[in-house]
Chains A and B, each alone.
Chain A
Amino acid sequence: MFPLGFFPYIIGGIIIGVGVSLIFIATGLHATQSSFLDATISFFSKRPYFLQKQFIDSRGWRITFALGVILGAFIYTITLAAEGFFTTSVEWWRLAIGGLLVGFGTRLSKGCTSGHGISGLASLSTTSLFAVITFITVGILTALVIQILGVMP
Chain B
Amino acid sequence: MNLRRIFVFAGGILFGFGLAFGGMAKQEIVLSFLQLEDLGLLLLLGGSALVTALTINIVPKILKKPILGGEFKKRTRTLNKRTIIGAIIFGVGWGISGLCPGSAIASLGVGNLPVLIGIAGMFIGAYIMGRYFT
Contacts and interface: CB of A to CB of B under 8 A. Distances in A.
Interface in B29-43: 29, 31, 34-41, 43
Nearest to A35: B101
Contacts of A135: 87-88, 90-91, 94
Nearest to B51: A17
B35 A134 contact: no
Max chain B Cβ within 10 angstroms of own Cβ: one of A12, A89, A96: A12
Given A36-B105, A105-B125, A100 B93 contact: yes
Interface residues of B, number: 116
A41 B118 CA distance: 16
A102 B90 contact: yes
Given A27-B66, A102-B101, A103-B121, A86 B9 contact: no
B131 interface: yes
A2 B43 CA distance: 10
Given A95-B114, A97-B96, A16 B108 contact: no
B67 A68 contact: no
Given A27-B70, A37-B126, 9 more contacts: A4-B38, A11-B47, A68-B8, A90-B28, A103-B122, A109-B85, A127-B79, A134-B84, A144-B34
